[in-house]
Homo-oligomer: A and B are copies of this chain.
Amino acid sequence: MGNGLDKRIERFMNWMKREQIELALITTPTNVYYLTGFYTNPHERFMGLFLTVTGDVFLIVPELDKNQAIEKSGLSSVLGYSDSEGPDFIIEKMVQVNRNTRMGIEQGNINYKTVLWLQRLLQVENFLDLESGFNELRLIKDETEIKFLQEAAHFADRAVEIGIQSLKIGKSELEIIAEIEYQLKKQGIERMSFDTMVLTGKKSALPHGKPGKDKIQEGDFVLFDLGVVFNGYCSDISRTVVMGTPSEEQRKIYTIVKQAQQMAINAVKPNISIKQIDLSARNYISKAGYGEYFIHRTGHGLGLDVHEYPSIHEKNEGILKEGMVFTIEPGIYVPQVGGVRIEDDVIVTRNGVRVLTSFTKELIQIGM
């Protein structure tokens, strides 16, 4: 395998040992990728990585993924099954369990039908949850991961730049999105981290707004929120610009968000409690009189998933550690006026913080 992947499996097995889990079945594509380097989404077909606490590792995949799985994972034990036979026979042959075996699955990512099938096949009655093991492992990013996250962040910067360059009075939100994704695809990007968001005017005040045919007008805030996937790793950036000259209130709101976001970034360093980052931004916005309009947490972890641990909210008593990667994205949303959100991706370093996204945060006035 190489690339430190053996080590990831070893660390996961150590976690299993601590939790007294004898057998783990991993079916979530990102977790299989995390441990093996092989990614596929087999949709309705079964794919499973089996690990035993005694050190056995084998991967079961649909026959048509087998060659790729061997090549990418370097695992010595990859087993393929055809559509006509299904995976049942292989699993029964490979897996030795009884009804009391302490077996773990990813409870939040496996459907009930699959669980019922496993119960019939293996006679195991209860399944433990592997989620906290993966949360723990994936929380701290290693060098390879940071390289990919940095690259994803570069493309996010580029995406915002494309979007801003294509802004024009009368164009629709969907047209701007089309332009961004077109240019990125041409540069070889296959996938965005989530549905690209461009919201204009009053809609910028809706954190869950849906882009549509709404046309950009003079005086609008235009809010971008988007991300790019690079080698499986996600970026996530938000920037807000104004069409023409900002009103006094627009300028005021923008300046508060920008300052709040910077204060949260400045707070980042190892060994503080996570809530302090949220509170740095939140207290500043509250003191400026806009507390009621900052209606979400300050950020979320980032990695193979665009939302993962840690969650940057005001009640998270957890401790910040070197190698954690997350977003910092305070916002102010004034109904009927508009919203501003500024978001960067950051990594906790030994002594402080490194910001992965780098697109300017000065207030850009389009057409001025």
Within the complex, what minimum Cβ distance (angstroms) separates A195 from chain B?
Answer: 8
Within the complex, what minimum Cβ distance (angstroms) separates A72 from chain B?
Answer: 13
The CA of A211 and the CA of B185, in the complex, are separated in Å by 11
Q: Does A178 contact B (CB under 8 A)?
A: yes
Task: State whether B213 touches A188 (Cβ < 8 A).
Answer: yes
The CA of A184 and the CA of B185, in the complex, are separated in Å by 15
The CA of A127 and the CA of B218, in the complex, are separated in Å by 55
Interface residues in A, total, Cβ within 8 A: 30
Residues of B within 8 A of A107 (CB): 111-113, 116
Chain A residues 50 to 82 lying within 8 A of chain B, measured CB to CB, are 64
Q: Does A174 contact B (CB under 8 A)?
A: yes
Residues of B within 8 A of A108 (CB): 111-113
Please tell me how many copies of the chain the complex holds. 2
Q: Does A109 contact B (CB under 8 A)?
A: yes
Q: Does A186 contact B (CB under 8 A)?
A: yes
- A320-339 near B? 1/0 per residue, CB < 8 Å: 00000000000000000000
Which single member of B112, B116, B174 contacts A185 (CB below 8 Å)?
A: B174
Residues of B within 8 A of A183 (CB): 178
Q: Does A151 contact B (CB under 8 A)?
A: no
Residues of B within 8 A of A175 (CB): 185-186
Which single member of B174, B184, B186, B190 contacts A186 (CB below 8 Å)?
A: B174
Task: State whether A185 touches B190 (Cβ < 8 A).
Answer: no
Residues of B within 8 A of A169 (CB): none
Known A-B contacts: A107-B116, A113-B129. Give 16 more (CB < 8 A). A64-B208, A107-B112, A107-B113, A108-B113, A109-B111, A111-B112, A112-B112, A174-B188, A175-B185, A175-B186, A178-B181, A179-B182, A181-B181, A181-B185, A182-B182, A190-B211
